[in-house]
Amino acid sequence: MAGIYIHIPFCKTKCHYCDFYKTTDFGAKTDFVSALKQEIEWRKNELQQEEIASIYFGGGTPSVLKIEEISSILHHLSNCFSVADDVEITLEANPDDLTPEFLEGVKNTPVNRLSIGTQSFHDADLKSMNRRHNSQQALASIQAARDAGIQNISIDLIYGLPNQTLADWKDNVLKAVALDVQHISAYHLTYHEGTVFYEYLKTGKIKELPDELSFDQFKLLLSELKKAGFEQYEISNFARNQRYSRHNKAYWERKKYLGFGPSAHSFDHKSRRWNVSSLRKYLQAIDEKGPFWETEVLSAQDQYNDYMITSLRTKWGISLNYLQTNFASKYVSHFQDEAEKYLESKHLYLEDGIYRLSDEGLFISDKIMEELFYME
């Protein structure tokens, strides 16, 4: 079983926190769809008949595609790959694109999961992030998706925003819970170099939230979602009734995936590949049949480090047995030595040979992973 990721590199405007590859120039949108299909065609033998269990349209903003474009990309994929009958097909969508006409169109494609970029239900937050929608549209888009008969809906929220109080965040979480969606992704704000928020932070126009408040927001998220019947299956991901994102879960289980479009990544157990993060260079290279990607062959150390990042973040954790079966003893002893202090501080706990993060550990997972890494 493998996955397919499609990167749609267009956004009508840019949000102040976002460093995903995108352009606001839609001039080459039609050429992009043709180039994407060409890339798919060229790479159709890379998965050697492995069945496709998930397809994910990410971005950028996949909801700026026309319904015919979504359908024709999916049709092309099913001609080139062996797509499972029960494939999960997710489309990331911005609330302001979710008109009744668009949703009706989506219903008539094989897309069966929507991931809606709600981010917040507060106008002040949305404005500060430079989102295109307001709180009323955030709520209405989710209702409209449900009214259109889309059963599997996920929403994205961001917390740790400048000036966001615990009460503001609680209100957001409660609104999300009341919406009766199956899945919530809640990300702590990251300040990425090159974004407007990063500049504002550097010049003192905004301030990072104090760690204690961020942690309180995280704890509130965990407790409210648990009360509402959500299971936390990854640091930022919560599902009801095991409606996990099959696509993202497969990343964390290190299943193979192919990524198409500018900046998309691919993984085949032995190597990683990433496409150029430039629509212009991508289109030019497809036109000239030239390379538009770089690859890296993964060493044993890379594979061990990958196992750390992908497993520790999930509720399935790090298996000692898996480590011992798949990695040389120097990696296993490094892991056990480094994990020891976090077991003592209760950031990690060990149960039946599986190491998992506690709630305190989940909040500082980046630091813990860094220390578990093996660096020669």
Ligand X SMILES: C[S@@+](CC[C@H](N)C(=O)[O-])C[C@H]1O[C@@H](n2cnc3c(N)ncnc32)[C@H](O)[C@@H]1O
Q: Write out the H or E segment, with its range, that includes residue 364.
A: none
Alpha carbon distances (Å) from 306 to 295, 301, 303, 331: 16, 8, 5, 12
Phi and psi angles of residue 15, each rounded to the nearest 5 degrees, phi first? -80, 150
Contacts with ligand X in 247-276 (CB under 6 A)? none
Q: For binding to ligand SF4 (CB under 6 A), which residues are involved?
A: 11, 14-15, 18, 20, 22, 59-61, 94, 117
Q: Does 20 bind ligand X (CB under 6 A)?
A: yes
Q: Does 94 bind ligand X (CB under 6 A)?
A: yes
Cα 73 to Cα 199: distance, rounded to the nearest angstrom:
37
**DSSP-assigned letters across all residues of 79-129:** HHS-EEEEEEEEEEE-GGG--HHHHHHHHTSS--EEEEEEE-S-HHHHHHT
Question: Which residue among 5, 17, 57, 335 contacts ligand X (CB under 6 A)?
Answer: 17
Q: Does 187 bind ligand X (CB under 6 A)?
A: yes
- Among ligand X, ligand SF4, none, the one that 254 touches (CB under a kind-dependent 5 to 8 A) is none
- Coil, helix or strand at residue 187: strand
Smallest gap, in angstroms, from Cβ of residue 29 to ligand SF4?
A: 14
Shorter beta-carbon distance to ligand X: residue 88 or 156? 156
Phi and psi angles of residue 213, each rounded to the nearest 5 degrees, phi first? -70, -40
Shorter beta-carbon distance to ligand SF4: residue 57 or 252? 57
- Quick one: which segment of 13-21, 102-110, 173-181, 255-263 binds ligand X (CB under 6 A)? 13-21
Q: Does 61 bind ligand X (CB under 6 A)?
A: yes
Q: Does 119 bind ligand X (CB under 6 A)?
A: yes
- Among ligand X, ligand SF4, none, the one that 187 touches (CB under a kind-dependent 5 to 8 A) is ligand X
Contacts with ligand X in 158-177 (CB under 6 A)? 158
Spatial contact of 206 and 197, defined as CB atoms under 8 Å apart = yes
Phi and psi angles of residue 292, each rounded to the nearest 5 degrees, phi first? -135, 30
- Among ligand X, ligand SF4, none, the one that 14 touches (CB under a kind-dependent 5 to 8 A) is ligand SF4
Residues 133-162, mask of contacts with ligand X (x by CB under 6 A): -----------------------x-x----
Shorter beta-carbon distance to ligand SF4: residue 10 or 307? 10
Nearest 5°: CA angle at 173, between 169 and 177? 170
Number of helical H runs and strand E runs in the chain: 15, 15
Smallest gap, in angstroms, from Cβ of residue 159 to ligand SF4?
A: 15
Query: Strand 183-188 to strand 113-119: parallel, antiparallel, or no bridges (unpaired)?
Result: unpaired
- Terminal alpha carbon distance of the chain: 33
Residues of this chain that interact with ligand X (CB under 6 A) are 17-18, 20, 58-59, 61, 92, 94, 117, 119, 156, 158, 187, 189-190, 192
